[in-house]
Amino acid sequence: MSEGIDLNDLKRRMDGAITAFKSDIASLRTGRASANVLDPVMVEAYGSRVPLNQVANITVPEARMLGVSIWDKSMVNAVDRAIRESNLGLNPIVDGQNLRIPLPELNEERRRSLVKVAHDYAEKAKIAVRNVRRDGMDSLKKAEKDGDIGQDVSRGQSEKVQKITDDMISDIDRLLGEKEKEIMQV
């Protein structure tokens, strides 16, 4: 008889969902300029969609300004369009092969909108964690049904999987609360 499922593998997969969530919420704009704001922007380049940072350098020359230096002059319009259509509320100013992106003050409505987006990201991460949990539980049920593990081992492993899941969900909620506070801070 085996020991059930690999809990470390499940934890690693759940950690991956949390890492993706951290990356998503880091890209949400707070009151300060950050190059991370443009992380979700995908540009139509050379027949495929690529992240903005693969076709340009992103800098923060001032507190409320981002600079984008595009490497290929033919990509300027595509980068400009991608930023405008990215749902970030940004309007780049084309300056030759560079873009200047003034970051407007966040008004109350935009802050609430960003909080809503953060909640959507959190829900996506929770779903990913729950999917990993479901995979683990299904593996346990199959192993128990096939006679590979006993019922008590299965129950013990199920409780451990649930505990790991609960811990991950509470991490997501904690990170969401911190980001929400950061966004709403004037």
Q: 98 and 113 share a domain? A: no
Arithmetic mean of pLDDT, 90-110:
87
d(CA 55, CA 76): 10
Domain count, the chain: 2
User: Of 140, 159, 132, 133, nearest to 2 (Cα)?
Assistant: 140
- Of 102, 132, 162, the one marking the end of a domain is 102
Q: Is 50 exposed, middle or buried (0-12, 13-18, 19+ CB in 10 A)?
A: middle
pLDDT category at 1 given cuts 50, 70, 90 is very low
Percent of the chain whose predicted confidence (pLDDT) is above 70: 95
pLDDT tens per residue across span 121-148: 999 999 999 999 999 999 999 988 888 8
Sorted by sequence, the CB contacts under 8 Å of residue 148 that are 6+ apart come out as 1, 2
2 lies in some domain: no
d(CA 99, CA 34): 15
pLDDT category at 37 given cuts 50, 70, 90 is confident
pLDDT at 120 over 90: yes
Structural domain containing residue 80: 32-102
Q: 176 and 131 share a domain? A: yes
Q: 11 and 58 share a domain? A: no
Tell me the backbone φ, ψ of residue 165, rounded to 5 degrees. -60, -45
1 lies in some domain: no
Mean predicted lDDT score pLDDT of the chain? 88
User: Of 131, 160, 154, nearest to 4 (Cα)?
Assistant: 154
